[in-house]
Amino acid sequence: MRITVLGATGGTGRQFVDQALDAGHHVTAVVRDPARLRLRRADAPRLDVVTADVMDPEAIGASVAGRDAVVSALGATARTEASVCSDGARAIIAAMRTTGTRRLVVVTASGHVVDEGDGPFTRTLVKPVLRRVLRGNFADFARTDRIVRDSGLDWTIMRPPRLTDGAPRPYRTATDRNVRGGLTLARADLARAILATLAEPASVRHTIGLGY
């Protein structure tokens, strides 16, 4: 596939780019600062690095045109960036509509959603605390979910729990609900799950919960 990745300088984004290249895909990494990319195989012939403002649909239009899929691994690195996921989703969707690209995978989180996948302890204690501490981030994820769902594109929303830099290991997924007891996930496994989702047509217009 020809895949464009936004948020490629983040922990999940770098993992995804490396794994996608290992799998033989052609990857376009859209970044603001190429020096922050630090990929394991940055010299791969199937990798294009494009410097652009990811919040500007016109600036990223050429990078999403003609692609088989677009992946957003955007995430806030500071409290002042509390709208980065939703603002980025708006820009990406606008660029995809203009260029005709259809397949979109966006990473948000499981923490801002309470559903039947959550156990009683998580529903009544863990998530109320997280919602107070991470109010701005969770509000951004909720806005992002709504924007992506209303896009009319062939979308999938990935909802991981707390991300770590741990080693890959077997993980669980659940369609349209959170994973019971899935409190953590390695970024390497999230990247692996995104790649698997891109190859699974049944995931279109669904959310995917993840966790160990």
pLDDT in tens, the chain (212 residues): 999 999 999 999 999 999 999 999 999 999 999 999 988 877 789 999 999 999 999 999 999 999 999 999 998 765 556 799 999 999 999 999 999 999 999 999 998 887 878 878 777 777 777 777 777 888 999 999 999 999 999 999 999 999 999 999 999 999 999 999 998 999 999 999 999 999 999 999 999 999 99
User: Which string of b and e fits 115-146 if b means at least 16 CB within 10 Å?
Assistant: eebbeeebeeebbeebeeebeebbebbbbbbe
pLDDT number for residue 80: 53
pLDDT number for residue 94: 98
pLDDT number for residue 50: 97
* Alpha helix stretches (DSSP H) within the chain: 11-22, 57-64, 84-99, 120-121, 127-133, 135-149, 187-198
